[in-house]
Structure formats: C-alpha cells, structure tokens
Amino acid sequence: MIKFDELGLNNNILKAVTELGFETPTPVQEKTIPYILESETDLIALAQTGTGKTAAFGLPVIEKTDVNNKNVQCLILSPTRELAIQIANDLTNYTKYIKGFNVIPVYGGASADTQIRSLNKGGQIVVGTPGRVNDLIKRRKLKVNNIKWLILDEADEMLNMGFKEELDAILGNTPEEKQTLLFSATMPKEVFSIANKYMKNHEQIKVGGSNKGADTVSHEYYVVHARDRYLALKRLADVNPDIYGIVFCRTRRETKEVADKLIKDGYNADALHGDLSQAQRDHVMLRFREKNLQILVATDVAARGLDVNDLTHVINYNLPDELEAYIHRSGRTGRANNKGVSIAIINTREQGKIKLVEKKVGKKFERKEVPTGKAICEIQLYNIMNKIENIEVDETEIAPYLPKIFESLEHLSKEELIKRIASVEFNRFLEYYKNAKDINTSERERKNSSGKVERRSDRPRRDNTNYSRFFINIGKKDELTASRLIGWVNRNLNNDKAGFGKVDILKSFSFFEVEKDYEADVLNSLNNNQYDGKKVSVEVSEEKKKFGGDKSYSSNKGSGDYKRKKSYGGSSYKDNKSNSGGRRRRR
C-alpha cells in the first residue's frame, strides 16, 4: 500500500499532513496527486463526497505553487460558503510549515471590503463561491487573468444551484494556458457541456465509477402511507438510540415543520434551511459538528459544505427530484472508511422510483419493515442497561451524596432497584408505544410492489382526493420529461416544492398532479411563465371517470397526439366523440 511520502510531496507538506493524521492516500488521492504533479493536461476526477478530494487537488497544487509570487496562481470554485471556508481551512493547514503561503476565501454573506483587503495583501490561492468571485472580478479586485490552475469542486452542485452564468463569466476571464481540474460526484450533461467548452484534451479519473454510490454505504427503504411518514421517522430514530445523522427534506417549510415536531417530541434535533441568518446557520452547524445535536433536519442546499466524517445515518424524508442528489445525500455518511446507512422513507406511490435510484447508485436497496413498538422498547431497554453498565463513576464528586442515597434506597432489593432505575427513562417508551399500530403497508400492497400481476378488481382504488390535476401546453416535442417538468414546476413555486402524483407527458401537451394545497400557487406561478423560451399556459383539468380509468383526453386519428376540447362550463378535457374515426385510448 502506497504512503504519502511516496507521492513526491516536499517535507514541509508531509510534516503538516502527518500531524493531521494522514497516513495512506485515499483512492482518489492516490490517482490524482501524481497526475497533477507530473502533468499539465486538464483533468476530470469523478469521486464521491467525503473521499478526500480537497487533498487530492490541494496538495499537488501547493507543491507546484511559487511561494515567492504573491499574485493569485490558483482559483478554486465551490458551490457554498461553508464548503469554500472548509477548503480554505484545509489548504491553510496543509501549508502550515510553508512560510509566506496565503490562502484567501471569498464568499457572499460576509464583508466584501474585508476580502478585498486580503486580496490586496496578496495570496497564491483564492477559494470562493461563484457569485462573490464573479463580483470581485467585475470590480477588478480579483485578477485571474494569469492563473495557472482553475479548480471546479462539486461542479455538478454549482450547476444544480444555478451558477452556470457566473461560471461562464469567470471562466471567460481566465487565460487559455492554464490547467483546469474539475472534481464532481456525478457527471450530468451540464457538467459535460462545461468540460467540452472550457477544457482541452482532458483526462478522466474515476473512483468508484461515475454517478455511483460509495461502497461503505448500505441502502434501505421503508414503505408507508404518506400520512405515516413522520411516525416512521420517529420509530427509525428510536430504534437507533445512538443515531447521529441528517434528515433530508425537499423544502425549507417541510424542514422547519419536521424539526419543530422532533424537538416538541423530545428529540435532540434542529433545522438547517435557507431562512436562517448566517449566524444562526453557523450556530446550528457548530452544534452538529460538536455532536451536541443528534439529528439535523436539512434541505440539500443548506447541507452543502457540512463536512462530518462519522455520521451513522442519512434519512431521506422525501426522495429528491433529481436522482443525482440522492448520491450526494448518501455520500454524507460512510466516510473515512466508516460504515453508514442511507434510508429512504417512501409512500406507496413512489415504489417505482426506488428502481431508478438503484440504477443510478449502482446498488441494490434492501426493503425493511418499520419496527414495531415492542421491538423499539426492547432495544431502548437494552440501551439503557448498557449505559448504566458502562457509565464512568466519579467517586470524588458523588461521595458526599452517597450516604443519603444509600439510606433512601436501602429497603429495596437489588432486583427492585434495577427495575426502578430502568423505568426512569424506559416508562415513556412503554407508554408511547403501548398500543402503537403497525404502519407498514399491507400484504396486498407489498405484493403489488414486487411486480406480481393482479386482476383489475384486486387493485387498490386510486385516491385523487389529495391532488389537483393540471393541463400544460408543453410536451415531448418541447423535450419535456417527467423529471424536467417536476423540477421546472418546483423551481417556480417561490422556493417551495410540492408533492407530485401522476405525470403524463404527451406529444404537444402534458398532464400532471400536484398536492391540492398548491393548486393556487401552481396557477399563479406558472401561467405566463416560460419553458425554454415558450410561453406556458396551465389550467386545472377536470377528469372524466369512465371505464375505471382516466378518460380526460382522447386520441385524434392520424395525429399521434391528443385532442383537447373546452366545455362551456370552464376548462375541461374530455373525450371528443364527434371526431370521425377517432378511437378512445385507454391509459
């Protein structure tokens, strides 16, 4: 097994990383460090979050940097303030014994004047977020026209967060003769477009395969009805007493609601979302890093830059709309050769999505049963006994109180004393789970999910009471897909995300279902909006139920599309019976 001192790094760097506990390089470090040291060709490195990418690009760049030149020689871009700070801190630690080496972080949410003063003093490496870096370049305070290295860390996340324009502007200001290093956990087509536009003759290094999950993470999912999702979350927390994990929600509203419920129910939890001030975010993240919080409830964007190596669990309270986001989420656990568990809580209508996520991650997910109240009580009891057995007793501190304690408890036998000690914490679990129901889906629904064919009469009736159905005037000819439609709708719902039901993408228009609570928001936010330059029209579609199926639209002979008919009573889409030769198409 190769050691760090065999990679070609100088003694000052080796001394610093040895103090940090580095012994053997991770796979991405072992492949990337020698490449950057020996080559000036552009590089794409695909590796999961938490695999040591900062050292992989940071150490060789530090080795090759001219410490006597105070001008910016390397620009590193990252998607969030927290990640930029983390990278800058890591690089500063790596250069601890290199005199005159300066790393300057620049990011939004902090004083630009302070950052400009640091730039004026000079520094060899600048680490920043795209927005602030672009702003400082425009103000001519950050000069990147002579850099030797441009590093894009978490490139997929920067594009997911909408930084494409800023990236284009920044990269357009950098010199042609530089080495561009692109690091990413996934490789969507947008990242390929950046690579094709700004990188030349690049090499590619893959660790664990592109768009794949980490080998140290196991994947589980639990199927419950949507109304029981929070109950399932609590049971999963209770059956794992030593949980130290992140619960991912889709929206900031849901994040706050779930965290508030957990806190009210006595769990050591807090929320991290976009409505918090920077000071509040820093406080929550510090508490979580120091393990003063067991459960952090967060959105995907808010959790970026949170670097913790020993998370036991990642729980997907909702599966993300973009499947690549699941890889980022699950990569938060199973770091530094630790084992981790990624859990998805899904409802009965989302079971098909698990297959898509499995394919994306490259791993089989294990379906598990939400534990019963009896199983949870048993685990909690043994956990309490284990704590009592292994508690450290400070004889000096407790000695003055022991005579009174012995006196008050001397009438109890050993067995009675054990029972009472256990009951102090255990009684609340017994009471809560006394008559707890089984919230797993029924046997019939489990069989349905396994792919067995049923008679129509055996199928559970579809419940549309919680969803509104909409017509939208874009379809396959507009290169629309279900995932693109869901993502586009949610991006336009005032920074909130709705739950979706059935989505039907047709040739020139489509239908989709959204939770009823969002009906007005959908109509107000989407109408007169644009999708890829086309003006969008959205209307509520009144379904006509016939033949046990959805007959709210019908085929138009010879067109391969569906014909829309407007009734006098408002917007509805019904079978066009007058269409000569037209056939009803069953959905």
Full 3-state SS string of 325-378: HHHHHHCCCCCCCCCEEEEEEECHHHHHHHHHHHHHHCCCCEECCCCCHHHHHH
Residue 293 lies in a domain: yes
DSSP 3-state of 38: helix
pLDDT band at residue 195 under the 50/70/90 scheme: confident
Answering whether pTM is above 0.85, one says no
Question: What is the DSSP code (8-state) at residue 250?
Answer: S
Determine the pLDDT at residue 154: 82
Give yes or no for residue 584 having a pLDDT over 60: no
CATH number at residue 94: 3.40.50.300
Higher pLDDT, 492 or 30: 30
Determine the pLDDT at residue 464: 44
Q: Which of 410, 432, 454 is the last residue of a domain?
A: 432
| Cβ-proximal residues to 222 (8 Å cutoff; 6+ apart), any chain | 232, 236, 343, 344, 345, 346, 367, 368, 369, 370, 440
CA 532 to each of CA 471, 480, 513: distance values in angstroms, whole numbers, following the listed order: 18, 10, 22
Give yes or no for residue 2 having a pLDDT over 60: yes
Higher pLDDT, 231 or 544: 231
State whether 127 and 30 are in the same domain. yes
Higher pLDDT, 359 or 147: 147
State whether 196 and 233 are in the same domain. no
State whether 236 and 202 are in the same domain. no
Residue 135 lies in a domain: yes
Give yes or no for residue 423 having a pLDDT over 90: no
Residue 447 lies in a domain: no
State whether 84 and 97 are in the same domain. yes
> What tokens were used for 260?
């508030």
Q: Give me the mean pLDDT over the 13-40 stretch.
A: 91
Over the stretch 351-403, which tens digit does the pLDDT of each residue have? 888 988 888 888 899 999 999 888 888 888 888 888 888 888 888 888 999 99
pLDDT band at residue 574 under the 50/70/90 scheme: very low
Q: Which residue has the tokens 């999912």?
A: 221
Which residue type occupies 432? Y
> What average pLDDT is seen over the chain?
82
Determine the pLDDT at residue 557: 35
Give yes or no for residue 490 having a pLDDT over 70: yes
Determine the pLDDT at residue 579: 38
Q: Give me the mean pLDDT over the 197-224 stretch.
A: 78
State whether 381 and 265 are in the same domain. no
- Give CA–CA dist 452/351, Å, rounded: 14
Q: Give me the mean pLDDT over the 335-360 stretch.
A: 86
Torsion of CA 248, 253, 259, 264, to 10 degrees: -160
Most confident of 5-9, 58-62, 305-309, 562-566: 58-62
CA 95 to each of CA 14, 58, 89, 122: distance values in angstroms, whole numbers, following the listed order: 10, 10, 10, 16
DSSP 3-state of 540: strand
Residue 584 lies in a domain: no
Which residue type occupies 429? F
Q: Which of 432, 449, 472 is the last residue of a domain?
A: 432
State whether 49 and 147 are in the same domain. yes
pLDDT band at residue 545 under the 50/70/90 scheme: very low
pLDDT band at residue 95 under the 50/70/90 scheme: very high
Give yes or no for residue 116 having a pLDDT over 90: yes
Higher pLDDT, 560 or 164: 164
Number of residues that make up the chain:
587
DSSP 3-state of 153: strand
State whether 470 and 340 are in the same domain. no
Number of domains the chain contains: 4
Give yes or no for residue 444 having a pLDDT over 70: no
Q: Give me the mean pLDDT over the 236-264 stretch.
A: 93
User: Which segments of 349-489 are extended strands (E)?
Assistant: 366-367, 467-472
State whether 236 and 187 are in the same domain. no
State whether 383 and 473 are in the same domain. no
Determine the pLDDT at residue 543: 52
Determine the pLDDT at residue 578: 36
Phi, psi of 305 (to 5 degrees): 90, -5
Residue 457 lies in a domain: no
pLDDT band at residue 193 under the 50/70/90 scheme: confident
Residue 441 lies in a domain: no
Residue 466's domain spans which residues?
462-563
Determine the pLDDT at residue 104: 97
State whether 292 and 399 are in the same domain. no
State whether 19 and 91 are in the same domain. yes
Determine the pLDDT at residue 378: 87
Half-sphere exposure (Cβ direction) of 12: Cα atoms closer than 13 Å: 15
Give yes or no for residue 287 having a pLDDT over 60: yes
Determine the pLDDT at residue 211: 46
State whether 17 and 163 are in the same domain. yes
Residue 572 lies in a domain: no
Question: What is the DSSP code (8-state) at residue 101?
Answer: -
- Other beta carbons within 10 angstroms of residue 442's beta carbon come to 12
